[in-house]
Chain A
């Protein structure tokens, strides 16, 4: 399951999806919106994606994880649109026979998402907003 969605993500749905009788471990990662960043008071993160390619890239890195580690099933769901403080923006779930493979594959997935998947976040903070990861680096006044 590799999806980009507009509504809140339910962690249980991903856990159910990767549940497997041959798995002895399920590892999950939940990325959430933090209320501060580099001294700024964050109000929300507003995510945008190139959805067709983002889902394709998520599936590609899932296949890569499967080739590297002995895992059973993997699910990654990334939310787009505004994500409020404490809400999940991305959830990864991986099942494996043994925990080591599940932990490593999960770690790999979140690091790769931050490098190659065409999803962008705009930080909306008190006093302005800024695209994170962009070359501009300068907060734009609202």
Chain B
């Protein structure tokens, strides 16, 4: 199945793209997707700590199981205001 991943801020810069589509296995969790992305984009490895995860615009935990066409965002520490 395919999921859509959006990157923002420092992660967008490290990946070099704001948005990608990735093929993942059924039952893939957010944590597993992050590990797979680190293999695709080694520069993400250094950005591991303190991430939050959002699926379809809601925060979820790392064990959240993904579904076809989910919109996934790895949220680096926010700094609005």
Which residues of A does B touch, CB under 8 Å?
A: 31, 47-50, 52-54, 56, 78, 89-90, 110, 113-122, 131-136
Q: How far is the CA of A31 from the CA of B48 in the complex (A)?
A: 30
The minimal Cβ–Cβ distance linking A110 to chain B, given in whole angstroms, is: 6
A56: nearest chain-B partner, CB-CB: B57
Which interface class (under 10, 10 to 19, 20 to 34, 35 or more) fits B? Answer: 20 to 34
Known pairs A50-B54, A136-B46; A116 contacts B78 (CB<8 A): yes
Q: How far is the CA of A41 from the CA of B71 in the complex (A)?
A: 38
Query: Contact between A135 and B49 (Cβ–Cβ < 8 Å)?
Result: yes
Q: Chain B contacts of A120 at CB under 8 A?
A: 8-10, 76, 78-80
Q: How far is the CA of A26 from the CA of B81 in the complex (A)?
A: 20
Q: Chain B contacts of A48 at CB under 8 A?
A: 8-9, 12
Q: Chain B contacts of A31 at CB under 8 A?
A: 81
Q: Chain B contacts of A121 at CB under 8 A?
A: 79-80
Q: How far is the CA of A54 from the CA of B73 in the complex (A)?
A: 12
The minimal Cβ–Cβ distance linking A92 to chain B, given in whole angstroms, is: 10
Q: Which residues 24-76 in B have Cβ within 8 Å of A in the complex?
A: 46-50, 54, 57-59, 73, 75-76
Known pairs A56-B57, A135-B76; A50 contacts B8 (CB<8 A): yes
